[in-house]
């Protein structure tokens, strides 16, 4: 089984976010980038298939040279090969077209992507990749087993879970639950050294229109001041909730 894991290069959630050029460009200065958490769950599940079913695991990213350390981390975790599509990832449809071209060229049986990236939160790329490649698709996937060309997937739905039987080729949009956080892997020194010798191929982007453009970014409103009330002063707490917060 050939597996392709889609990797997004995203800011760490602890990074301080700023914008430049009149709030039209993201300021990358001082920002630490990581593997998108939803993609990391998928990569960990792919490693399970590699170890238990002798699957091959490639990783792919659409981005510039600055994303290569993130791909190298994926290689250090255990992926066999990395592919970087040399293009800026600013539009969901454009990214999906690039990933679909890689899938078709590589003849992958299973494509694992994160449900969404934590920067743009579009949640659209995995479904479009499935449509463009003619593969089956399972969204919000929290469980996956593969037996030959058959697959059993569990996905999160409102108020519960849904189990589906499907077949390869398959694209899934994974999230927490596909593996648990305790299952995530930290690259060890041996993995880091081996990653340096694994192939990282850079390919040109295919022609594809960018359907959306970011006009301007805006930060959320700053949090208001906090008032502390003594635990014994119930009357003051009720007064503030009633007259100032107006929630009772």
Stronger pLDDT, 213 or 111, i.e. the higher one? 111
What is the rounded average pLDDT of the residues 208-232? 88
- The CA distance from 238 to 201, in Å, is 63
- Condensed to tens digits (0 to 9), the pLDDT of residues 163-196 reads 999 999 999 999 999 999 999 999 999 999 999 9
- Condensed to tens digits (0 to 9), the pLDDT of residues 23-49 reads 999 999 999 999 999 999 999 999 999
- The CA distance from 53 to 49, in Å, is 5
What distance, in Å, lies between the first and last C-alpha atoms of the chain? Answer: 59
Helix segments in the chain, DSSP class H: 37-53, 68-77, 92-106, 125-133, 189-195, 234-239
- Condensed to tens digits (0 to 9), the pLDDT of residues 56-71 reads 999 999 999 999 999 9
Percent over 90 (pLDDT), the chain = 83
Stronger pLDDT, 225 or 155, i.e. the higher one? 155
Nearest to 98 by CA among 116, 109, 111, 81: 111
Q: Average per-residue pLDDT in the chain?
A: 94
Instruction: State the pLDDT at residue 244.
Output: 86
Evaluate whether 69 touches 77 at the Cβ level (below 8 Å): no
Give the model's confidence band at 146: pLDDT under 50 very low, under 70 low, under 90 confident, else very high.
very high
The domain segmentation of the chain, as residue ranges, is: 2-219
Residue 58: CB partners within 8 Å, gap ≥ 6?
2, 3, 4, 5, 79, 80, 81, 82, 83, 106, 108
Instruction: State the pLDDT at residue 225.
Output: 83
DSSP per-residue string spanning 82-112: EEEEES----HHHHHHHHHHHHHHHT-SEEE
Cβ-count burial of 26 within 10 angstroms (0-12 exposed, 13-18 middle, 19+ buried)?
Answer: middle
**Span 2-219: which CATH code?**
3.40.50.620
Question: The tokens of 142 are what?
Answer: 């929290």
Instruction: State the pLDDT at residue 175.
Output: 96
Backbone conformation region of residue 134, classed left if phi is above 0, alpha if psi is from -120 to 50, else beta: left
87 pLDDT more than 90: yes
Say what the pTM is: 0.88
Instruction: State the pLDDT at residue 27.
Output: 93
Nearest to 171 by CA among 215, 214, 148, 138: 138
Angle between helices 37-53 and 68-77 in degrees, nearest 10: 40
Count other C-beta atoms under 10 Å from residue 143's C-beta. 18
Instruction: State the pLDDT at residue 34.
Output: 95
């Amino acid at each position: 089984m050939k597996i392709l894991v889609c990797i997004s290069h995203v800011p760490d959630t602890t990074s301080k976010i700023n914008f430049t050029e009149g709030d039209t460009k993201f300021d990358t200065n001082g920002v630490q980038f990581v593997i998108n958490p939803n993609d990391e769950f998928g990569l960990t599940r792919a490693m399970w298939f590699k170890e238990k079913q002798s699957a091959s695991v490639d990783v792919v990213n659409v981005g510039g040279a600055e994303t290569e350390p993130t791909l190298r981390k994926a290689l250090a975790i255990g992926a066999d090969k990395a592919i970087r599509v040399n293009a800026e990832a600013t539009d969901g449809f454009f990214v999906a077209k690039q990933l679909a071209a890689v899938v078709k060229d590589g003849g992958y049986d299973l494509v694992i992507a994160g449900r969404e990236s934590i920067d743009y939160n579009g949640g659209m790329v995995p479904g479009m990749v499935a449509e463009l490649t003619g593969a089956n698709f399972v969204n919000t996937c929290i469980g996956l087993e593969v037996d030959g060309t058959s697959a059993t997937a569990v996905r999160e739905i409102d108020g519960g879970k849904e189990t589906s039987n499907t077949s390869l080729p398959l694209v899934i949009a994974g999230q927490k639950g596909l593996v648990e956080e305790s299952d995530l892997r930290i690259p060890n020194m041996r993995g880091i050294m081996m990653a340096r010798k694994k192939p990282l191929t850079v390919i040109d982007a295919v022609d594809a229109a960018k359907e959306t453009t970011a006009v301007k970014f805006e930060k959320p409103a700053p949090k208001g001041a906090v008032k502390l009330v003594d635990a014994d002063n119930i009357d003051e707490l009720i007064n503030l909730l009633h007259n100032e917060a107006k929630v009772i």
